[in-house]
């Protein structure tokens, strides 16, 4: 019995230490006069061994909510320094599609999208915890569009990952500006991207000779990585047939991201 108790105490102690090494904090910053507040997450134990790869996280059109913060914490648990950016302003989040559309709509097709994301990238690099040659950006839905715009702007990224993002073709100028690789994680049933539009995007990637991977997940709709998608449909029935959570696509796309990071970070520095 004593042996069992000692083993239990030891296990609990190890779990407590693992939790204690995860550092999270809000980070205040601004861009063009707009007050912003991002979310930084990293494993303090791992930073003691030297600078780590960094990952920028750009949220869905809902804004910087618990889902985006949770993804940053997952990345920190994998050994990365993660920074979830604030695209809308401190404390500004949406809980209904109409408001989310209004907030996101001010960015599409405008330089502000990349500029606001770059302000978050600057904060990630300013931590001093990150190897600047090993930085990536991931984004969900609106965030997927954003990380693509950030790459098109020539930001110093080893790679980007778009999860069910709205994709836009790369102009010749954008293609020549991209410094890293691209992973597109797309739901095969996502109605947000029409087939001709998707084909135009991939053609632009091919024409620009970009280093990219395009992965489709069978049966997956828009927002397939977010477990809250089904509850959102219940609250807003008009979204039925547009968004849905897919546990398998969520799991597989996360693994594809991890494999992608292993590749791009291994070849840098």
The helix or strand, by DSSP H or E, that contains position 184, with its residue range, turns out to be strand 181-187
Asked whether 68 and 55 are in contact (CB, 8 A), the reply is no
Distance between CA atoms of residues 210 and 162, nearest Å: 15
Mean pLDDT of the chain: 93
Token pair, residue 230, equals: 């089904």
Q: The pTM is what?
A: 0.91
CATH topology of domain 23-266: Rossmann fold (3.40.50)
pLDDT of residue 267: 52
Asked whether 208 and 176 are in contact (CB, 8 A), the reply is yes
244: CB partners within 8 A, 6+ apart: 220, 221, 222, 223, 224, 229, 230, 233
Check pLDDT > 50 for residue 7: no
pLDDT of residue 148: 98
pLDDT tens, 70-122? 999 999 999 999 999 999 999 999 999 999 999 999 999 999 999 999 999 99
Distance between CA atoms of residues 20 and 22, nearest Å: 6
Which of residues 66 and 267 earns the better pLDDT score? 66
pLDDT of residue 13: 43
pLDDT of residue 268: 45
Give burial (CB, 10 Å; 0-12/13-18/19+) of 196.
Answer: exposed
Distance between CA atoms of residues 75 and 36, nearest Å: 22
Per-residue confidence at 224, pLDDT binned at 50, 70, 90? very high
Mean pLDDT of 214-241: 97
Asked whether 151 and 157 are in contact (CB, 8 A), the reply is yes
pLDDT of residue 207: 98
Asked whether 118 and 79 are in contact (CB, 8 A), the reply is no
Residue 138 bridge partners (DSSP): 57, 161
216: closest CA among 193, 238, 233, 200? Answer: 193
Check pLDDT > 80 for residue 156: yes
Spans of all domains in the chain: 23-266
Per-residue confidence at 16, pLDDT binned at 50, 70, 90? very low
pLDDT of residue 10: 41
Per-residue confidence at 133, pLDDT binned at 50, 70, 90? very high
82: CB partners within 8 A, 6+ apart: 40, 41, 42, 54, 55, 56, 57, 71, 72, 73, 75, 76
Strand order in the sheet with 34-43: 22-31, 34-43, 81-84, 52-58, 130-140, 159-163, 181-187, 212-217
Token pair, residue 12, equals: 């609990």
The helix or strand, by DSSP H or E, that contains position 264, with its residue range, turns out to be helix 247-266
pLDDT of residue 190: 97
Asked whether 219 and 244 are in contact (CB, 8 A), the reply is no
pLDDT tens, 174-202? 999 999 999 999 999 999 999 999 999 99
Distance between CA atoms of residues 203 and 149, nearest Å: 17
């Amino acid at each position: 019995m004593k042996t069992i108790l000692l083993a239990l105490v030891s296990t609990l102690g190890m779990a407590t230490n693992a939790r204690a090494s995860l550092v999270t904090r809000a980070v205040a910053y601004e861009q063009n006069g707009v007050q912003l507040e991002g979310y930084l997450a990293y494993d303090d134990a791992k930073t003691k061994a030297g600078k780590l790869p960094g990952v920028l996280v750009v949220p869905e059109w809902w804004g910087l909510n618990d889902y985006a913060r949770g993804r940053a914490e997952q990345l920190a648990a994998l050994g990365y320094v993660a920074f979830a950016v604030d695209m809308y302003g401190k404390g500004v989040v949406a809980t209904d599609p109409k408001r989310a559309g209004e907030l996101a709509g001010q960015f599409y097709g405008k330089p502000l999208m990349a500029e606001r994301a770059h302000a978050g990238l600057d904060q990630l690099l300013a931590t001093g915890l990150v190897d600047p040659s090993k930085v990536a950006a991931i984004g969900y839905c609106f965030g997927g569009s954003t990380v693509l715009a950030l790459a098109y702007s020539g930001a110093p990224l080893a790679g980007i990952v778009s999860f069910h993002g709205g994709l836009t073709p790369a102009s010749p100028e954008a293609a020549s500006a991209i410094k890293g690789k691209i992973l597109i994680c797309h739901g095969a049933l996502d109605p947000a991207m029409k087939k001709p539009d998707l084909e135009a995007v991939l053609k632009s990637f091919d024409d620009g000779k970009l280093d990219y991977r395009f992965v489709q997940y069978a049966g997956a709709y828009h927002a397939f990585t977010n477990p809250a998608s089904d509850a959102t449909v219940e609250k807003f029935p008009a979204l039925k047939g547009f968004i849905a959570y897919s546990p398998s696509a969520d799991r597989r796309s996360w693994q594809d991201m991890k494999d992608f990071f292993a590749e791009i970070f291994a070849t840098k520095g």
